[in-house]
Amino acid sequence: MYINFWYPVARSDDVTNDAPVRARILGLDFVAFRDTDGQAHVLSDTCIHRGGALGHGKVQGDCVECPYHGWQFNGAGHCTVIPSLGDDQHPPARAKVDTYPVEERYGILFAFLGDLPEDERPPIYDITEFEEPDWRANELVVFDVDYYYERSVENGLDPAHNEFVHPKQGAPGMRQDFRSKPIDVQPMTDWGSKFIIPFVHEKADQGLMSDKIHRDTEYLRGGSGHLGPNQLITWLQFSKDNIFHQYFFEAPIDEFHTRIFFVNMRHFMMDPAMDKGIMDVNMEIAQEDIDILVDLNPVRTPHSTTKELLVPADGPIVAYRKFLEDWQGRGWRIDVRELRETRTDVAYAIPCPERRTTGNWILDTVPLM
Ligand code: FES
Ligand SMILES: [Fe+2]
C-alpha cells in the first residue's frame, strides 16, 4: 500500500453536514464530513486529545466534534473548540489533525492521502466520456472484497484468465497469433501502463450480452490499464459502436480487504431501463473473479520475480509491478509489518501536505519502507 495517491473515500451522496462518515483506508482510519457551504473534508480520524474516533462523533456546523470530550476540528484540521478550557483560554496551535486534499468526481469523494504539493500529485483518471450525451454511466456501485487490492488490479490487467474464469461470458480469449509474442504494453501518463489486444469469443453465442451485442471481428478487442496503484480501467469493444469502459477505483482497507468503487460507462443500449440488467451481468462477472481471488496464495503479491513463474501473457502485470517498485523507491510504500506490530501502542496518521510547511504534529506518521 502506498501513500501519495488519490483514494476513494465514500459516495459523495453519503457525505453530509448531518453526521460524519468513517472509512478505513491503507490500514488507517479517516473521517469525512461536509461543512455548511457543502464543501467536503477528509481528516485523520484520531483525535489528538486522547485518541477518540472523530468518525463516531457529530458534525457541528463547519466542524467535526469528537465523541469523547467534545473537541471540535474544522475542515483545515484545526481545533476550534475545547469545552474543558476556560472562557479566556484558546485551543493551542498544536491542536490539529491531518487534513487531506479532496476532489469529487463521478459521484465519489476522493482524498489525496499523502503530503505531495499540488503540482507533484498523480492524477485521478479523467473519464472524458462521463458527461458525453452518447455515453451512459451506470449508477455507482460500491462493493467490498476480502483480498488485497493489488491482487484485484493485477487480475484486471490479466488477459489470460478470462477464458477460464468467465466461461459463462463466452470465455473471451487471446487470439492465437497474439499468444506467442509479448503484449505491447504502453505507458499511460507518467503513472501507469495499458494494453489493448484483439480477442476471440469461442462461444460467442453465450454469455455477456451475446444476444444483444452485434459482434464484429474487425473491432473485437479489449484491454486494460492502471493509473497509480489503485485505479483500474478496462476497455471492451464488441463492434464499431458497442463499447464498454469500466473503472475500478480501489481503496485498500488493509492487507486483506478492499473497497471497490465501480463506474461502468457504455456507448450503446442507452436506455436507462437497461442499467440494472447490465450491472447484474457485470456483478456476476465480478463474482467470478472474486471466487478466484479470495484463495490466492500468498495474500499479497510477491515482490520477488523468483517466487512465481511468469509467462509473456503476464507482461502487463510485470509492468504494473515495475511502477510499484518505483513508488517504493520514492519512499511511498507503507511498512505494513511495522504498522501491524506497533499499532496497539502508537496512533499513526498519513502525513498531509501541511506537514511540509508546519511542525508540532501530535501523531507519528505511518511507517514507510
Ligand atoms: S479524545 Fe477527543 S476530545 Fe478527548
Ligand atoms: Fe475477470
Closest C-alpha to 56, from 93, 28, 30, 95? 30
Q: What is the mean pLDDT of residues 184-208?
A: 80
Q: Could you tell me which residue, 306 or 114, shows the higher pLDDT?
A: 114
Report whether 40 contacts 15 (CB < 8 A).
yes
Same-domain status, 183 and 289: yes
**CA nearest ligand 1 atom 3, residue:** 69
If you take atom 4 of ligand 1, which residue's CA is the nearest one?
Answer: 69
Query: Is the pLDDT score of 257 beyond 50?
Result: yes
User: 71: CA distance to ligand 1 center in Å?
Assistant: 6
Q: Which atom of ligand 1 is nearest to the CA of 66?
A: 2
Q: What is the pLDDT of residue 209?
A: 47
Output the 3-class SS for 315-337.
Answer: HHHHHHHHHHHHHHHCCCEECHH
Ligand 1 atom with the smallest distance to the CA of 54 is 2
Are 157 and 172 a contacting pair, CB within 8 Å? no
pLDDT at 191: 98
Among 96, 120, 144, give the residue marking a domain's end: 120
Task: Choose one of 47, 63, 84 to mutate for the ligand 1 pocket test, by most ligand atoms within 8 angstroms of C-beta.
Answer: 47
Strand partners, 66: none
From the CA of 164, how far away is ligand 2's center (Å)?
A: 9
Which CATH number fits the domain that encloses residue 179? 3.90.380.10
Query: Is the pLDDT reported for residue 4 higher than 90?
Result: yes
Inform me whether the pLDDT recorded for 207 exceeds 80: no
Reported confidence tier of residue 265, pLDDT bands at 50, 70, 90: very high
CA 349 centroid distance within chain: 19
Please give the distance, rounded to the nearest whole angstrom, from the Cα atom of residue 202 to the centre of ligand 2.
16
Q: Indicate whether 71 belongs to any domain.
A: yes
**Quick check: CB of 47 below 6 Å from ligand 1?**
yes
Q: Cβ(351) to ligand 1 under 6 A?
A: no
Nearest to 193 by CA among 279, 66, 317: 317
Cis peptide bond N-terminal to 298, omega within 30? yes
Specify the amino acid at residue 185.
Answer: V
For residue 98, give the 3-state DSSP assignment: coil
Are 115 and 200 within one domain?
no
Find the range with the poorest average confidence among 117-126, 159-168, 314-323, 348-357: 159-168
pLDDT confidence bin for 102, thresholds 50/70/90:
very high
Give distance in angstroms: CA of 90 to centre of ligand 1.
Answer: 16
CA–CA gap between residue 111 and residue 116 (Å, rounded): 12
Mean pLDDT estimate for the chain: 93
Q: List, for residues 110-144, the tens digit of each pLDDT value.
A: 999 999 999 999 999 999 999 999 999 999 999 99
Query: Is 114 a domain residue?
Result: yes
- 188 plus 108 within the same structural domain: no
Q: Mean per-residue pLDDT for 80-91? A: 95
Q: Give the per-residue pLDDT at 215.
A: 61
Is there a domain that residue 350 lies in?
no
Domain end, chosen from 64, 85, 120, is at 120
* Residue 73 beta carbon below 6 angstroms from any ligand 1 atom: no
Q: pLDDT category, 339, cuts 50, 70, 90?
A: very high
Atom of ligand 1 nearest to the CA of 70: 3
**311 and 204, same domain (yes or no):** yes
The answer to whether residue 156 scores a pLDDT higher than 60 is yes
CATH number at residue 81: 2.102.10.10
Tell me the average pLDDT across 67-87.
97
- pLDDT band for position 181 (cuts 50, 70, 90): confident
Best residue among 44, 71, 80 to mutate for probing ligand 1's pocket (most ligand atoms within 8 Å of CB) is 71
The structural domain count of the chain equals 2
Q: Is 278 left (phi over 0), alpha (psi -120 to 50) or beta?
A: alpha
Q: Is the pLDDT of residue 226 over 80?
A: yes
Q: Is 56 in the pocket of ligand 1 (CB under 6 A)?
A: no
The alpha carbon dihedral of 255, 14, 287, 226 has a sign of negative
Range of the domain at 210: 136-325
Q: How far is the CA of 98 from the centre of ligand 1 (A)?
A: 15
Tens of pLDDT, residue by residue over 18-36, are 999 999 999 999 999 999 9
Domain shared by 151 and 97, yes or no: no
> With bands split at pLDDT 50, 70 and 90, how would you rate the model's confidence at 167?
confident
Q: Are residues 61 and 180 in the same domain?
A: no
Which-ligand-closest: CA of 66?
1
Query: Which pLDDT band, with edges at 50, 70 and 90, does 211 fall under?
Result: very low
Q: Which of 12-21, 181-190, 213-222, 360-369 has the lowest mean pLDDT?
A: 213-222
